[in-house]
Structure 1
Amino acid sequence: MKTSAVVNLLIALFIAVPATAQEQGKSITVFTAKKIVTMDPTQPTATAIAVRDGMILGVGSLQDLAPWLKGSMYTINDQFKENVILPGFIDPHMHPMLGAIAFQTVWITPEPWNVMGHKTPATIGEKAYRATLKKAFDSRDPNAPIFMTWGFSSDTHGELSGRLLDDISKDVPILVLQRSLHEAYINTPLLTLLKTKGLNPNKFKDHLQIDWSKNHFWEDGLFSVVLPFMSSFLLDPNAADPGYLKTRDYLTYNGVTTVADMNTGGTNWELEISALKRNLDTPESPIRVRLTPDVMKLAAALKSPEAAMTLVNQMKQHNTDNLVFNGGIKLFADGAMFSQAMQINAPGYIDGHKGEWITQPSSFVEFARSYWNAGYQIHVHTNGDGGAKMVLDTLQELENDKPRADHRFTVEHYGYADDGTSRRIAKLDAQVSANPFYLFDLGDRYAENGLGFDRAARIAPLGGLASRNVPVALHSDFPMAPAEPLFLAWTAMSRETLSGKVFSPSERLTLDQAIRAITIDAAYMIGMENEVGSIEAGKLADFAVLDKDPYEVGMKGLRDIKVWGTVFRGKVHQAKK
């Protein structure tokens, strides 16, 4: 197919102003530490690493590195002599754009947060939520054209509607983003503003995922109908760039050096790529982003699945040091975990409500087949066991029609499933990138409302996968969970909830499995195990610098480990406090 002018324009935007690698000359830098945990089973520990031009030359002791140093210019960097070094942590599923948006909003959440020392208390109950919302609005920046808040959750905060938001203000536009970021409520002034940008409510008056009487939008009703008209202000550089930079600093604060943007282009391809290049594709940025395009939304934007695939086919040619595309694409199945919109098999939800499909199964199969046949790695958002069944049925059909070796078909999130689903994933040679925070945050609430105690205990069931040798990684899906890999590893190991209860200890990961799930197995999940994920010769010099060794403190001390900062391609970055 001949590439269209629109696709040419987008490609030109994507490749403009390539990042310049940090020039480090030919001198070797040797980093020494109290202990280096390599995640390389052939050499599990070391005390020194030789690095040149951002690449690891050798690992071992200073004596072991002597052949590299003889006759070469080198320096010894011993600033980490009291620290422990691990491979730079990898978050294989998060959203830089959503982080940038979330940091523009007032957080009113059902659980407490602590982001780089900035604490947000939990808000519990309808009365408390409405009072906090009103107080936040009254103390807003008067120069901000729109008041935005994130974190609303109906199971904790009660009812909400556009009418209630109008009671707060009939003049100032208000946007309430639900905790999952798969739902939103707006007031009349914001609806009026969106109409001036081209939104035509009459065109979507019968949309099944919009309630116009409440100005409530969810799943496709949010993503495809109203969000495109919000992108101009949500991704305005003056508003978004500080959020991108704070997201970047937050990742470094927690030892992360590589992330997968698991929905690239999901809102607006041009604006998102431009924002990524301005903020993360720079010589001073210590974060590598693996791009994973949302091909269904890209097809909708270009009004052609063929045009979307043409663009995706050309992405790999234009990689930079910090923005990498290596053949992974994103599809969506059922609804959000935080909204109880996932598809649940019998007996369903306790109150009888039904789950949602983000993508109707027939369309899902069509897109999955196209990208499977073209050889892409497919990542699929799915949360419920009903959603997982449809996804795995599709994978089985694809395998039957066109078997592929090392396909790395990835189930993303894995919110709720039974052991039979884990067995089937193993049989189909799929892999799982999971969000263990679901159990910590939602286990108590969903035991009482939605699933019941027995099924809530199956939230994020990872032990059954690991026992069957299914590759497992842990992700934050930030801002769904804290982008704190050590904390996520602790949640997968402990299976504790917010209240301190332990759900299904048989589904725990071991310490080694949990650390692998944020390093080498996370790299494998996104096809980057040859570049990052362990400390060994030939890989990129990305390290997390810690105050303690996870293997010494164990599960009890894991979430209390302090991160000093990172080394990214051989350059030191101390975390900002």
Structure 2
Amino acid sequence: MTITVFAARRILTMNPSQPEATHIAVRDGRILAVGDLEAMQAFSDTQWDERFADRCLMPGFVEGHSHALEGTMWEYPYLGYFPRRDPDGRRWAGAQSLAAVQVLLREQAELLPPHQPLIAWGFDPVYFEGARLDRRRLDEAVSDRPLVILHASLHVMTVNSAMLELAGLQRHVDVEGIMVDDDGSLTGELQEMAAMHVVFETLGMNLFETVGAPETLWRYGRVARNAGVTTITDLYNPLTDEGIAALKAVTREDDYPVRLVPAMAALAWPVDEGIQRLQGCLEQGNDKLHFGSVKLMTDGSIQGYTARLKWPHYHDGHANGIWNAPPETLKEMVEAYHQAGLQLHIHTNGDEAVELMLEALEGALVFWPRCDHRHTLQHCQVIDHAQLRRAAAQGLCLNMFANHLYYWGDIHRQRTLGHERCQRLEPLASARRLGIPTAIHSDAPVTPLGPLFTAWCAVARETATGRVLGEHERLSVRDALEMITLGAAYTLRLDHLVGSLEIGKFADMVALDRDPLASAPDALKEIRVTATVLGGRVHEAE
């Protein structure tokens, strides 16, 4: 077979034994050699590829916590506070006031046939002072059809009166998360999965299950490619029969530009059935599809006030958050999936949720010891130092939501967490000092997919207004780059295949227009991805 040699101005390998190179040889989709020009001349029958000669090459980025919903949500209008671009490059300005939200909703409703439900997404109430968005404000905008607004956190939605009536939600007020006024009338706000499920069931579609559609997976792949990502997760996949078939079919396509790691949504299945389903998937993967992980959702989001925080709870006195299942049920699920030999990715936004899961994992490991389990706490945004030490003792991995520092840092300091807890918001440097395998992520579509921006957040720790939160938790650029490559690959049990450029691994790379180690740290977020390489196949970014 012909050997392709890629040349670059500089290659950052993330291999501690050989951190840098200028050339990389690829055969059969895998790395044959990494080194300088002289090392490449030992090979015959080579094809030289100079298209990246003036570029910096790195291992393709690994996004360890994102959702294929990124490929679904852009079918609906975006209501977020911050401007954003969709996969086709269109810029959505977002909405910075409730009046602007109402105007955008009226405009979008006029584009639909009569009575067709309108779904929009990305709304973030924490940025709006005063009255909270409720059914009355939505009715002022759209009253002639059901209206569903999914919040940016994906943990809350608000619906109008037409949707409340269609779903018969007045009959379900005993479901936790269906919010009511002081007089007992429905506000239209629905918090967490059980409450939102009633609406999805009425509409005959569940947004969280659309991730199995081939067009969704292709759109998701294009977004990943443009961000320099070559290995991406879908960390809440229901793994329906149709969804599994779509995952297998799409990833077998030569042109599909990413490797995909779906984690089964634990709460979507009875425990025994979920274990059996996931174990049955283990042999159904391919080089671009890797099964074996399960995602457990414990609490909600801090900015949505549905995360579970330890005392003194929310800084502004708001009531504590919501469990997505009773704590004892969550602990039993941890024990069952651990005993079955599967890897757990556990959503723990608040430190009370972290505490519950540390207790559950400690118990599971006592009764069923496992080496190299790589159970990973996801988000763990305000994990405290005692909890960090316990996580290290248990051999856990962490994957922290570094983008929170920018998008919600100001809100957390002023309203949800206060000054002191914000100094340990995403305590990345502390985790690294304790030797805990750690990654950072975007949680797309909650925030835009962009590992270099995520790395900048971990290095600069600046909010949207430029305030620094927790300067002692800042990372070096090199450490941040490790967390979006090899560190993330480790949490996915794929570090033997991706995450660094070493002989035998998949030839997955990202080409950058600038060298992140030769640029100012603040330039990280400005570096442009020009292409990715997956198994030696070049995919130009758009």
Fold shared by both chains (TM-score > 0.5): yes
Is residue 59 of structure 2 the alignment partner of residue 93 of structure 1? no
1:389-428 superposed matches below 5 A: 389-428=355-394
| Cα distance in structure 1, aligned partners of 2:442 and 2:54 | 29
Is residue 267 of structure 2 the alignment partner of residue 296 of structure 1? yes
Distance 1:237-1:431 versus aligned 2 partners, 3 A rule? closer
How big is the shift at 1:74?
A: 2.7
How big is the shift at 1:215?
A: 3.3
How big is the shift at 1:64?
A: 0.9
How big is the shift at 1:243?
A: 4.6
Structure 1 counterpart of 2:229: 256
Distance 1:51-1:143 versus aligned 2 partners, 3 A rule? farther
Secondary structure at 1:317's aligned position in 2? coil
Structure 2 counterpart of 1:341: 306
Distance 1:509-1:248 versus aligned 2 partners, 3 A rule? same
CA contact (8 A) 1:490 1:558 kept: yes
Q: 2:77 aligns with which of 86, 100, 106?
A: 106
1:139-288 superposed matches below 5 A: 140-142=111-113, 145-157=116-128, 158-190=131-163, 201=169, 204-211=172-179, 213-222=186-195, 224-230=197-203, 232=205, 234=207, 242-265=215-238, 269-277=240-248, 279-288=250-259
Structure 2 counterpart of 1:3: none
Amino acid at match of 1:155: V
| Cα distance in structure 1, aligned partners of 2:112 and 2:455 | 38
| Cα distance in structure 2, aligned partners of 1:495 and 1:216 | 32
| Cα distance in structure 2, aligned partners of 1:186 and 1:271 | 29
Amino acid at match of 1:79: R
1:311-460 superposed matches below 5 A: 311-325=277-291, 327-349=292-314, 350-460=316-426
- TM-score after normalising by structure 2: 0.92
Structure 2 counterpart of 1:462: 428
The superposition leaves residues 444-485 of structure 1 with CA deviations (integer Å, 9 ceiling, x where unpaired) of 112222222222333212111111111110111101122100
Amino acid at match of 1:562: R
How big is the shift at 1:154?
A: 2.2
| Cα distance in structure 1, aligned partners of 2:210 and 2:402 | 33
CA contact (8 A) 1:104 1:243 kept: no
CA contact (8 A) 1:254 1:565 kept: no
Distance 1:168-1:505 versus aligned 2 partners, 3 A rule? same
Distance 1:312-1:427 versus aligned 2 partners, 3 A rule? same
CA contact (8 A) 2:14 2:500 kept: yes
Structure 1 counterpart of 2:469: 503
Amino acid at match of 1:209: G
| Cα distance in structure 1, aligned partners of 2:218 and 2:158 | 27
Secondary structure at 1:408's aligned position in 2? coil
Structure 2 counterpart of 1:119: 91
| Cα distance in structure 1, aligned partners of 2:211 and 2:262 | 23
| Cα distance in structure 2, aligned partners of 1:211 and 1:233 | 20
CA contact (8 A) 2:61 2:451 kept: yes
1:11-50 superposed matches below 5 A: 26-50=1-25
Distance 1:411-1:27 versus aligned 2 partners, 3 A rule? same
Distance 1:533-1:416 versus aligned 2 partners, 3 A rule? same
Amino acid at match of 1:473: A
Structure 2 counterpart of 1:527: 493
Amino acid at match of 2:174: D
Amino acid at match of 1:104: E
How big is the shift at 1:129?
A: 3.0
How big is the shift at 1:224?
A: 4.2
Structure 1 counterpart of 2:52: 80
**Deviates further, 305-314 or 117-126:** 117-126
CA contact (8 A) 2:114 2:145 kept: no
CA contact (8 A) 1:94 1:259 kept: yes
Structure 1 counterpart of 2:183: none
How big is the shift at 1:143?
A: 8.4
| Cα distance in structure 2, aligned partners of 1:424 and 1:88 | 32
Secondary structure at 1:421's aligned position in 2? helix
Amino acid at match of 2:266: V
How big is the shift at 1:167?
A: 3.5
CA contact (8 A) 1:176 1:184 kept: yes
Amino acid at match of 1:153: D
Is residue 33 of structure 2 the alignment partner of residue 65 of structure 1? no
CA contact (8 A) 1:102 1:243 kept: no
How big is the shift at 1:420?
A: 2.4
CA contact (8 A) 2:422 2:470 kept: no
Distance 1:122-1:422 versus aligned 2 partners, 3 A rule? farther
Amino acid at match of 1:574: E
CA contact (8 A) 1:287 1:322 kept: yes
Distance 1:375-1:237 versus aligned 2 partners, 3 A rule? closer
Distance 1:246-1:226 versus aligned 2 partners, 3 A rule? same
The superposition leaves residues 235-269 of structure 1 with CA deviations (integer Å, 9 ceiling, x where unpaired) of 8989965554332212111110001211111xx72
How big is the shift at 1:388?
A: 0.8
Distance 1:108-1:320 versus aligned 2 partners, 3 A rule? same
Amino acid at match of 1:148: I
| Cα distance in structure 2, aligned partners of 1:312 and 1:431 | 21
| Cα distance in structure 2, aligned partners of 1:238 and 1:429 | 31
Unaligned 5+ segments in structure 1 are 1-25, 300-304
CA contact (8 A) 2:424 2:470 kept: yes
CA RMSD of aligned residues (A): 2.5
Distance 1:202-1:121 versus aligned 2 partners, 3 A rule? closer
CA contact (8 A) 2:115 2:145 kept: no
| Cα distance in structure 1, aligned partners of 2:249 and 2:124 | 33
Distance 1:386-1:226 versus aligned 2 partners, 3 A rule? same
| Cα distance in structure 2, aligned partners of 1:229 and 1:91 | 33
Unaligned 5+ segments in structure 2 are 181-185
Amino acid at match of 1:131: V
